[in-house]
């Protein structure tokens, strides 16, 4: 899917790093040297457990957090050092949808005001009426009945509130949206409705998504490519089909095996457990971050960072074992 190397990716990061300074001078390595490319109209799924830096990555790309080092290229332009005012026009093209349908919208604004907010900021339309008309059009698009226009967020359920967030993100006609766990706070049936909506919108508007989630089964449906993160590092990247058909990194395998399958025929099969818990991202030592939990770890794993090697076309893995050292 990424074979067409001639085209410039819509978004690219080069060795992107985000460290948080903690009291006492130590550093928290939230995002630690991420290289990724997202092409127009495609979806990159970013998967990992809590604390792996996936949400920080999404916010750093949008420059909601200042990157520590590395580069962010949007449509070929290096936006890493852009000032707040220089970012403003770029913000129209890159948007974000949040995880928490409760805190992502201002409880004191009505639905139509929330959806119109960005259009007012950028003065996209001449009059208030015109802006509200556009907002109403967006409500139709995300499947929110217009009678909710004057409602306040607390009158709506989580799924509908999430749709307000989606409509707001779409209001500036962006080319790229970071979806930060957009469905994980929702019930399965509503989750499925909203996933379908996001896919329909993508088909219609040709958007690119970076879909951040902890849920592999959700990401499979929506992504063209998937990147698996562990403690700020990317451990494996491949096309969606390839990753599920042929997972290589021990962590990816463990992640897949840990999902409880809704099938009782597999019931007596034990979960393939990985031992221990995610170690601290503070002042990390060199070496594979997963080594302490990995069943296959060899001494080399905790000495030097493994290289990110292309094991088969468009399938990259950072593991000494898989890559034969």
Partner 1 sequence: MAHTEIQNILEIRDLKVIYKTDLEVVEAVNGLDLTIGKGKTLGLVGETGAGKTTTALSILKLLPSITGRILQGEIYFDGEDILKKSEHDMQSVRGNRISMVFQDPMTSLNPVLTVGDQIAEAVQLHNPDMSKEQINERVAATLNMVGIMPSRSGDYPHQFSGGMKQRVVIAMALSCEPELLIADEPTTALDVTIQAQVLTMIRELRDRLGTSMLMITHDLGIVAQTCDDVAVMYSGIIIEAGTAEDIFLGDKHHPYTVGLFNSIPNLDIKSDRLNPITGLMPDPTNLPKGCVFAPRCNHQMEICLEARPGVFEEGTHKIRCYLFSEAAGNSKAGVDLNAE
Partner 2 sequence: MNPQKVESTTVDNFKRPSQTKEIWRRFSKSKGAVIGFVLFSIIAIMLLAADFIVPYEAAIKQDFTQQLAAPSREHFFGTDGYGRDAFARLLHGGRTSLSIALLATFSSAVLGSALGAISGYFGGKVDSFIMRSLDIFMSVPDILFTMAVVYALGANFTNLLFALTLAYFTNYVRLVRSQVLNLAEQDYVEAARAGGSGSTRIILSHIIPNAVGVIIVNTTLNVAKIILYESTLSFLGLGMPPPQPEWGLMLSEAREFMRTAPWLMFFPSAAIVITAASINLMGDGLRDALDPHLKS
Interaction of residue 198 with partner 1, rule CB under 8 A: no
Angle, alpha carbons 314-318-320 (nearest 5°): 125
Instruction: Kindly indicate which of the ranges 103-111, 183-191, 238-246, 248-256 contains the residues binding partner 2, using the contact rule CB under 8 A.
Output: 103-111
210 binds partner 2 (CB under 8 A): no
Burial of 264 (0-12, 13-18, 19+ CB in 10 A): exposed
Q: Is 221 in the site for partner 1 (CB under 8 A)?
A: yes
In degrees, rounded to 5, the angle at the alpha carbon of residue 221 between the alpha carbons of residues 182 and 239 is: 110
Pick one of 137, 187, 277, 283: the residue that binds partner 2 (CB under 8 A).
137
Indicate which single residue of 3, 5, 6, 50 sits in contact with partner 1 (rule: CB under 8 A): 50
DSSP labels, 80-132: TT--HHHHHHHHTTEEEE-S-TTTSS-TTS-HHHHHHHHHHHTT-SSSHHHHH
Stretch that binds partner 2, among 25-33, 102-110, 266-274, 300-308 (CB under 8 A): 102-110
Instruction: Please identify which residue in 110, 279, 302, 323 interacts with partner 2, judged by CB under 8 A.
Output: 110
CA dist., res. 164 & res. 167, Å (int): 5
Tokens of 299: 């001494």
> In 207-271, at which residue ranges do the beta strands (DSSP E only) sit?
208-213, 225-230, 233-239
Helix (H, G, I), strand (E, B) or coil at 187: coil
| Range 304-323 burial, b when 16+ CB lie within 10 A, else e | eebebeebeeebbbbbbbbb
Identify which of residues 203 and 277 has a Cβ nearer to partner 2 in the complex: 203
Query: What six digits make up the tokens of 262?
Result: 């809704």
Smallest distance from partner 2 to CB 296, Å: 39
The stretch among 80-88, 155-163, 166-174, 305-313 that binds partner 1 (CB under 8 A) is 155-163
DSSP state, residue 3: -
* Residue 252 binds which of partner 1, partner 2, none (CB < 5-8 A, kind-dependent): none
- Candidate residues 108, 269, 275, 285; the one interacting with partner 2 per rule CB under 8 A: 108
Contact in structure between 162 and 182 (CB atoms under 8 Å)? yes
Residues 49-88 that bind partner 2 (CB under 8 A): 59, 62, 64, 84, 87-88
| Candidate list 266, 285, 286, 324; residue touching partner 1; CB under 8 A | 266
Closer residue to partner 1 in complex, CB, 9/45: 45
Among partner 2, partner 1, none, partner that 209 touches (CB below 5 to 8 angstroms by kind) = none
Nearest to partner 1 of 100, 241 (CB atom): 241
With beta carbons less than 8 A apart as the criterion, state whether 80 and 72 touch.
yes
Binding residues for partner 2, rule: CB under 8 A, are 59, 62, 64, 84, 87-88, 91-92, 95-96, 98-100, 103-108, 110, 112, 117-118, 121-122, 129, 132-133, 136-137, 140-143, 146-147, 149-150, 152, 154, 165, 168, 172, 193, 196-197, 200-201, 204
């Amino acid at each position: 899917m990424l074979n067409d190397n001639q085209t410039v990716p819509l978004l690219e990061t080069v060795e992107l790093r985000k460290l948080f300074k903690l009291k006492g001078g130590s550093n928290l390595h939230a995002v630690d040297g991420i290289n990724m490319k997202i092409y127009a109209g495609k979806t990159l799924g970013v998967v990992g457990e809590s604390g792996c830096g996936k949400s920080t990555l999404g916010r750093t790309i949008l420059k909601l957090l200042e990157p520590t080092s590395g580069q962010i290229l949007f449509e070929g332009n290096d936006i890493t050092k852009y000032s707040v005012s220089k970012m403003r026009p770029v913000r129209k093209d890159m948007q974000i949808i949040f995880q928490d349908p409760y805190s992502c919208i201002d409880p004191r604004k009505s639905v139509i005001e929330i959806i119109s907010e960005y259009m007012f900021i950028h003065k996209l339309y001449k009059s208030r009426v015109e802006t509200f008309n556009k907002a109403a059009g967006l409500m139709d698009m995300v499947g929110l009945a217009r009678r909710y226009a004057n409602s306040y967020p607390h009158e709506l359920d989580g799924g509908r509130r999430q749709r307000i967030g989606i409509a707001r993100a779409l209001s500036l006609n962006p080319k790229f949206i970071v979806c930060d766990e957009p469905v994980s706070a929702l019930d399965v049936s509503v989750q499925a409705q909203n996933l379908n909506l996001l896919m329909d919108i993508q088909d219609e508007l040709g958007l690119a998504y970076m879909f951040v989630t902890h849920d592999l089964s959700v990401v499979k449906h929506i992504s063209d490519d998937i990147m698996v993160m562990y403690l700020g590092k990317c451990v494996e990247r491949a096309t969606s089909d390839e990753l599920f058909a042929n997972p290589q990194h021990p962590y990816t395998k463990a992640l897949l095996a840990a999902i409880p399958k809704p099938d009782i025929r597999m019931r007596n099969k034990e979960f393939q457990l990985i031992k221990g818990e995610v170690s601290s991202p503070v002042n990390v030592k060199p070496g594979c971050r997963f080594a302490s939990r990995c069943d296959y770890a060899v001494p080399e794993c905790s000495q030097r960072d493994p290289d990110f090697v292309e094991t088969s076309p468009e399938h990259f893995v950072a593991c000494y074992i898989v890559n034969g050292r």
